[in-house]
Amino acid sequence: MPRPAARPRPPVTTALVAANVAVFVAMGLSGASWTSPNTAQLLRWGANFGPLTLGAQPWRALTANYVHIGIVHILFNMWCLWDLGQLSERIFGRWTYLLVYTFSGLAGSLASLWWRPMSVGAGASGAIFGLAGALITALYLGKLPFPKQAMQRTLRSLLTFAGYNLFFGAVAAGIDNSAHIGGLLGGAVLGASLAGSLTLDADGRAQRQKFVFAGAVLALVLGAAFVSRSNHYVVALKNAQDALMRGQPQAALPDLQKLAQERPNDVQVHTLLGNAYSQMKDYPRAEASLRRALNLSPGNEGAQYNLGLLYLQTSRYQEALSVFSPLRDRNPKDADLHVLVGESLSGLKRYSQAMNSYRLALAFDARSASAYLGMGKTQLAMGDSDAALTSLKQAAVLDASDSDIQTELSKTYAAKGMKAESEAAAQKAAELEKASPANP
């Protein structure tokens, strides 16, 4: 008895799965985490991120569809793609299917850029949801010559897939449901537009599809223009953020002042503006900006953190403690918050409690130079210059570029009567301060 002919392997689906897997393997071999790659690794490989995609790197809207956030993410997506892709390839044909997949992925990226422009997005799920949406509308409207029961069963399966995964994306943390919705809607519109061509002859089908995809390209261009106009501010926001990270508040200030006028209710803008004023030691304006941010969002930890730093910089130690203690209690394993609580307590001359905070910081991060610096300063204030010198030397080993450490070393050497060492540390502190990005 002759064997039944084997079903041919779907070439486009196979190629898409292979491309996704190849990118993931290349990421892993380059040093990215196989289970949870960090933001820098995702961006290096083309993830979607508003300040970059809406700026000079619009290609990320496409490449993000081939980047995945760990082994579980890609396994689930490739399982769905293999299942939906084979059906799509049979229904639409190879090239039409590839175009539907690509269009849906781009639609998902645009939806993400519109809804969550400051979030990093990656994965094929927007394109996969697009396949589901296209199949649902095409099968429902296309009058294809399939048995009615089989058609109904397939539609129920597709609707269940879309509904369940949208619900899961809505309740689970860390899932970009906006990309799912964008891909699903984009695919559904394409499927509905293509449905009438599925039963035409080859020439009629090709002619109809040309019009459909010409319209799809126009829709993408218009959508991209709308998203760019709506959210292009994130480019200036990220540039300002980067300038502040480099210690260059003067470079960040013009953008932030303009954004504060354009977006008076944006918490992040006012928080960064407060940070810029603090770095410039314009403390009244810094406090006004940070309080504005907290009025808009009373529980915003970024604004609270920056306000606490301002209190430390202005020697308002009790107010600093009132900010950092609740933050530490909510984030008990954050070594930096333990250090800041320690600095606040030390400023209040509660030295024993300050030392406990620094020890807790080191318990969570044994390489915290700031914890050793705080310990050294507190030990010197307590009159224990030997212990202070040991702590500060350890801080200098962990962070050789911190001028504050060298300044405290200079004070400690002076307290011990070690004049030459004190002068050498002071000179090094001056050199480090001069080389700082904040002093170009």
pLDDT band at 169 (very low <50, low <70, confident <90, very high): low
Active site residue 368: no
pLDDT band at 437 (very low <50, low <70, confident <90, very high): low
Check pLDDT > 60 for residue 344. yes
Q: Which residues contact 5 (CB under 8 A, 6 or more apart)?
A: none
Catalytic hit among 88, 109, 125, 289: 125
Q: What average pLDDT does the segment 188-213 reach?
A: 90
Domains of the chain are: 11-231 (1.20.1540.10), 232-314 (1.25.40.10)
Q: How many CB atoms lie within 10 A of CB 230?
A: 13
For position 439, what pLDDT does the model report?
Answer: 55
For position 353, what pLDDT does the model report?
Answer: 97
For position 433, what pLDDT does the model report?
Answer: 85
Check pLDDT > 60 for residue 405. yes
pLDDT band at 172 (very low <50, low <70, confident <90, very high): low
Convert the pLDDT of each residue in 406-430 to its tens digit: 999 999 999 999 999 999 999 999 9
- What mean pLDDT is reported for the chain? 91
For position 160, what pLDDT does the model report?
Answer: 79
Catalytic hit among 68, 73, 112, 180: 180
pLDDT band at 2 (very low <50, low <70, confident <90, very high): very low
Q: What average pLDDT does the segment 104-132 reach?
A: 94
Q: What average pLDDT does the segment 357-362 reach?
A: 97
For position 41, what pLDDT does the model report?
Answer: 96
Active site residue 344: no
pLDDT band at 145 (very low <50, low <70, confident <90, very high): low
Q: How many CA atoms, within 13 angstroms, populate the side-chain half-sphere of residue 169?
A: 17
pLDDT band at 438 (very low <50, low <70, confident <90, very high): low
Q: What average pLDDT does the segment 215-243 reach?
A: 95
Q: What is the amino acid identity at position 438?
A: A
How far apart CA 414 and CA 272 sit, in angstroms, is 38
C-alpha distances in Å from residue 346, one per residue of 321, 327, 339, 343: 10, 18, 10, 5
- Range with the poorest average pLDDT among 134-143, 234-243, 344-353, 423-432: 134-143
Check pLDDT > 70 for residue 23. yes
Give me the helix-helix angle, 267-279 and 249-262, nearest 10°.
Answer: 150
Convert the pLDDT of each residue in 230-247 to its tens digit: 999 999 999 999 999 999
Check pLDDT > 90 for residue 104. yes
For position 151, what pLDDT does the model report?
Answer: 63
For position 162, what pLDDT does the model report?
Answer: 73
Convert the pLDDT of each residue in 301-313 to its tens digit: 999 999 999 999 9
Check pLDDT > 70 for residue 153. yes
pLDDT band at 5 (very low <50, low <70, confident <90, very high): very low
Check pLDDT > 50 for residue 1. no
For position 36, what pLDDT does the model report?
Answer: 92
Check pLDDT > 50 for residue 355. yes
The percent of residues above 90 in pLDDT, for the chain, comes to 81
Q: What average pLDDT does the segment 141-169 reach?
A: 71
Residue 332 near residue 340 (C-beta atoms within 8 A): no
Residue labelled with tokens 């504050």: 404
Residues in the chain: 440
For position 63, what pLDDT does the model report?
Answer: 97
